[in-house]
Chain A
Amino acid sequence: MSEIIALAGNPNAGKTTLFNTLTGTKQHVANYPGVTVEKKSGYHTIKETKYELVDLPGTYSLTAYSIEEIVARDFIAKEKPHALINVLDASNLERNLSFTIQLLEMGAPVCVALNMIDDAHRRGIKIDYKKLSELLGVSVAPIIARRGQGVEELMDKTVEAMNKTETKPLEISYGNDIEDAIYKMVAIIEGNSFLTDLYVSRWIAIKYLEQDELILEAGEAVNKQISDALMKIVDEVTHHIEETLDTYPEAIIADQRYGFIRSILKQGVLTRSGDETRVFLTERIDSVLLNRFFGPIIMIMIITGLYYATFNLSEIPVGWLESGIEWFSGAVESILPDGLLKSLLVSGVIGGVGGVLGFTPIIMFMFLGIAILEDSGYLARMSFMLDRLFRLFGLHGNSVMPFIVSGGIAGGCAVPGVMAARTIKSPRERLVTILTAPFMNCGAKLPVFALLVAAFFQDNEATVMLIITVTSWLGALIAAKLLRLTVLTGDDSPFVMELPPYRMPTVVGVLLHTWEKVWQYIKKAGTIILAISIVIWAMMTFPGLDEQKLEAFENQRQVIAAAYDNSIVNELENVDEAIQLTETANELQDKLIVVDAAEAEAALRHSVAGKIGIAMESVTQYSGFDWRTNIALVSGFAAKELIVSTLGTAYSLGEVDPEETDSLSDKLAKSPSWNKATAWALIIFTIFYAPCFVTVVCIARESGSWKWGAFSVVFNTTIAFILSTIIYQLHAL
């Protein structure tokens, strides 16, 4: 096994850019065990030795407050990387060094990379990196990661750091009160080898003083007695500090760290030249983009622009994929004889895999757009402008992208929408966004609305579509609030965040980011989706009609055919698409199609899905749905596009093309079991009920648990049923 070099640092310090420069395009993305934090790794060769590089999540600190920080520090303590490259934004030394100090206190074998040194120079910041290296006791190398400048020297220094026999943890003085406590605690810790297999004793003492939940937990598990003894010292000093200084140890520790950093910087490490009040480019751009009046307008333009670009640009490759899949399934259809195998391959396998592939161009373009927004620094501004609004509902400023992409502008798709929630770092807000985004009207729900509007609301089509859009937004926001008040309670996560300087995204960075997401989707979701689509195919196919019924339909066909001349029957049997049928042959064909459709309806009614639909009538009658609608909604769980076509089969119309629903809407308009109340109930149900299973798979993956996938099915369907029942019953009054 190769030796491990880990990359650590603040977000926006250029860590990932350095990682890309070092590993090239050969990267491996996985999740850290048990959590949804991405672990990126790759290889880099220095002088014929191959090293494994791991990109740790970007964090400002090493506390136990966020999952990223826990992952980063656990990796450092438990995996014990042979070297740790700490990437710093050279223009922002003070804050970046606070993280460096925390690494050094852990006793990690650190080598510091001062990134974007050119930007710092431009800002009139001069850094004496040799002096910095001397004062910190670690190697420091100035680099420009995006151009690869200085990277070779950095790696040489890293290898040197690796070969150093023992790294001595940094010790900075936290003042008398704290130091006395640390002194006492270290004696206990070392005397009992308490957690010292993983951590440095002084660091354990500091974490106890900061009342770090995870370390306290680990300590109690190992030896409750010692842990209690340590906590006693902590309580004493905490009490004393509160009395005398009106503050607490964690604050003093943080403040002293900054004090230490400032004292280092003042020793000639950092010198500024030029006008301090100079206005930088970022501020000038912000004065327009964050303007109270123009800011929101530009933001709306960018969001809608991204939305239309995503769906319009992906239309072309989606078209190619669809015709490719169609051709393939046509080929399979013509080669295989009629029967179960053909039906399984065409409807189950190719339909399922085709469904997965069909989403990929959309996901690709959406992530391309988001990568550009994120890397340029604009995404943070969007979040900044929208935070107040979304916070009202327990969401996050970044929730806007998932909502819009999912169909906040009617016609999106919840699959990339749910994935877009990755930009939200606060866990509760992220989960609520993931769970509510599918309420938006994705492109596959639209044919259902179009069908019902054509049948019942032809005169005020635009009004109805507007009501549908507003309903889904209100529903999503209210549901979010509801979830935050019940299932996902807790304070809002802090919004203290950096608005990074605007930067030109690098082409390689954006493309790699996009490719990773798309590949992950295909690989992980693909297998599960294939399995589920086969299950749904089976539900709609089995048990199939019994011999008697099949025979009855066959007899009907023969009776019809018997009325025609043999030559006509032959003409139809040996039909060649190129040849125009005679009028009588056409007539016969139409009559046979009617029988086929009736057979399909009977088979569907008889299938497992059909039986579920019929069984559900006892409940769904309250919202006005009969078994036909029920089956259509069950099949809609496979893909919402199927609602209309299944409804067609259930109404003996054969396969109905979702794009052309005239015959079906006629049928519904005339049917006695349908009226405006039923139509509204079905519209409301379609907006809110269980997301399609591709989305459910994504919800499970993104939230890290199938529990949430199942929750979304139950929760959404319950809401949908309650709302549609209310609507239907109110109309009936």
Chain B
Amino acid sequence: MKLRQMKKNQSGVIAKVTAAKEIGRRIRDMGLVPGAKITIGNRAPLRDPIAIKVSDCVISLRNSEADHIEVEVEDE
């Protein structure tokens, strides 16, 4: 599932990061790499960007950037 489609408080493990170049690098720099466990947090008032929790910190991403991240969602 794409990260963008996840709901608030949903958790999962990153399966793949498809972005290249600067965006890809920035996403990885923040610890958003395959194998990282994430939880979806707040969305901004206009539904974009989105805050996600990864290990112990909160990262904000635009929806367009979240599209590059595929997540293996945990069963609820």
Contact = CB atoms under 8 A, between A and B. Distances in A.
B57 A290 contact: no
Contact of A389 (B43, B46, B59, B65): B46
Given A250-B24, A286-B42, A498 B30 contact: yes
B58 interface: yes
Contacts of B48: 387-388
B74 interface: no
Contacts of B43: 292
CB-CB nearest 9 A-B residue pairs = A388-B46, A95-B31, A60-B29, A254-B28, A496-B26, A499-B58, A290-B42, A494-B26, A61-B29
Interface in B35-66: 35-36, 41-49, 51, 53, 55-62, 65
Contacts of B45: 292, 295-296, 385, 388
7 contacts: A95-B55, A254-B25, A258-B28, A283-B53, A389-B46, A499-B58, A499-B60
A183 interface: no
A707 to B, nearest CB: 25
Given A254-B28, A384-B44, 9 more contacts: A92-B55, A92-B56, A387-B44, A496-B23, A496-B26, A497-B30, A497-B60, A498-B60, A500-B57
- Best-buried of B33, B36, B55 by chain A (most CB within 10 Å): B33
A342 interface: no
Given A388-B44, A388-B46, A250 B25 contact: yes
A255 B33 contact: yes
Contacts of A255: 28, 33-34
Nearest to A291: B42
A290 B36 CA distance: 24
A497 B29 CA distance: 10
Contacts, number: 124
A123 interface: yes
Contacts of B27: 494, 496
Q: Is the interface of B mostly helix, strand, loop or mixed?
A: mixed
A258 B29 contact: no
A282 interface: yes
Nearest to A388: B46
B65 A258 contact: no
Contacts of A384: 44, 49, 51, 60
A63 interface: yes
A65 interface: yes
Contacts of B59: 496-499
Contacts of B75: none
A251 interface: yes
Contact of B23 (A60, A125, A292, A494): A494
Nearest to B61: A496
B17 interface: yes
Contact of B57 (A95, A391, A496): A95
A245 B47 CA distance: 34
Interface string A457-501: 000000000000000000000000000000000000011111111
Given A61-B29, A286-B41, A384-B60, A94 B46 contact: no
Interface in A614-628: none
B30 to A, nearest CB: 6
B76 interface: no
A499 B51 contact: yes
A258 B54 CA distance: 13
Interface of A: 60-61, 63, 65, 91-92, 94-95, 98, 123, 125, 248, 250-251, 254-255, 258-259, 262, 282-283, 286-287, 290-292, 295-296, 380, 384-389, 391, 494-501
B29 A98 contact: yes
Contact of B20 (A65, A251, A385): A251
Nearest to A248: B20
A250 B60 CA distance: 22
A123 B56 CA distance: 9
A497 B54 CA distance: 12
Nearest to B11: A277
A246 to B, nearest CB: 9
Nearest to B25: A63
Contacts of B55: 92, 94-95
Interface string B4-25: 0000000000000100101111
Contacts of B22: 63, 65, 494
A94 B60 CA distance: 18
A610 B57 CA distance: 62
Nearest to A259: B35
A559 B48 CA distance: 77
A620 B64 CA distance: 47
A497 B60 CA distance: 5
Nearest to A255: B33
Contacts of B42: 286-287, 290-292
Contacts of A496: 23, 26-27, 29-30, 32, 59-61, 65
Contacts of B65: 494-496
B13 to A, nearest CB: 13
Contacts of B47: 388
B25 A65 contact: yes
A368 to B, nearest CB: 26
Given A250-B25, A290-B42, A296-B45, A95 B30 contact: yes
Nearest to A276: B37
Contact of B60 (A254, A262, A495): A495
B12 to A, nearest CB: 15
Contacts of B56: 91-92, 123, 125
B58 to A, nearest CB: 4
A501 B58 CA distance: 8
B26 to A, nearest CB: 4
